[in-house]
Amino acid sequence: MFGKLAKIFGVKEKLLEPLALGEYLKVDIHSHFIPGIDDGSPDMETTLELLRGIESMGYKKVITTPHVMSDYYRNSSDTIKKGRDDVREAIAKAGIKLEIDCAAEYNLDSEFQPKIKAKDLLTFGDNYVLFELPFISEPPNLSEAIFEMQLAGYKPVLAHPERYAFWHMDFEKYQTMVDKSVLMQLNINSLTGHYSPQVKKIAQKLIANNMISFFGSDCHHAGHINLMHQASRQEVVHQILKDNKLMNQSLL
């Protein structure tokens, strides 16, 4: 696979015919569709619009993951589950056929490790926990938190590792995550250059080195849906989806 991708990265990218992302992935594991509880969908009308967009790409299931952050979005397991149930009721009335479940995107902040100890983490699939790092710098307790998750029976999944600029000049940090059995989830839209050219470059390198286990939309708004259509024309996206090595389908 590396050889194929190296050829792709070494020449000017060409856009292919759009690919139905959901027909290959089946399940999206990272999104912000529960209305009004974080920086994602502000209301149920927007949620329904976004979910129609996801459904139109062939997805069968969405595991939506609101932020849990001590200083911004103090969501609890109960509030997230209540929001999921409200979305389920709304999509049933709207005739949307997607299966909806929830987990969370946990920020590795001061309140994360107490949640691990209390076993108060929302999971998906095989006890997977989606967590993110602060964007400023690597937290000093990262290794400790990973160990505590694994000791408690959780399987850590690191959200959008390609976006952590503090690792961009030290690619070995990504290998360290792999060595610690941390799975990594890449944002599909990182491959469009949406976040930055450097993020796109790191995303491509992570794929080329077979370090990515899941694709996620990280969808917050309609602009992200539009970018997903753009991503579906990227040659690297066609290649990884057709190689069928991602784990999204295992969650159906």
The whole-angstrom separation of Cα 159 and Cα 204 is: 16
- Quick one: DSSP state of residue 196? -
pTM: 0.94
Cα distances (Å, whole numbers) of residue 191 to 53, 127, 146, 203, 232: 19, 28, 27, 6, 10
Q: Which residues of 141-155 are buried (b: 16+ CB within 10 A; e: fewer)?
A: ebeebbebbbeeebb
CATH number of 2-251: 3.20.20.140
pLDDT along the chain (252 residues), means of 10: 48 84 98 98 98 98 97 95 98 98 98 97 98 96 98 98 98 98 98 97 97 98 98 96 95 96
Per-residue pLDDT, 6: 46
CA angle 123, 190, 146 (to 5 degrees): 35
Cβ neighbors of 248 (< 8 A, separation 6 or more) are 25, 26, 27, 28, 29, 214, 215
**C-alpha dihedral (228, 205, 108, 37), degrees to nearest 10:** 0
pLDDT of res. 5: 52
**Percentages helix, strand, coil for the chain, rounded to the nearest 5?**
45, 15, 40
- State residue 2's pLDDT score: 42
Amino acid at 166: F
Per-position b or e across 204-226, b if 16+ CB within 10 A of its CB: bbbbbeebbbbbbbbbbeeebbe
Helix (H) or strand (E) holding 185: strand 183-187
pLDDT at 8: 45
Domain segments of the chain as ranges: 2-251
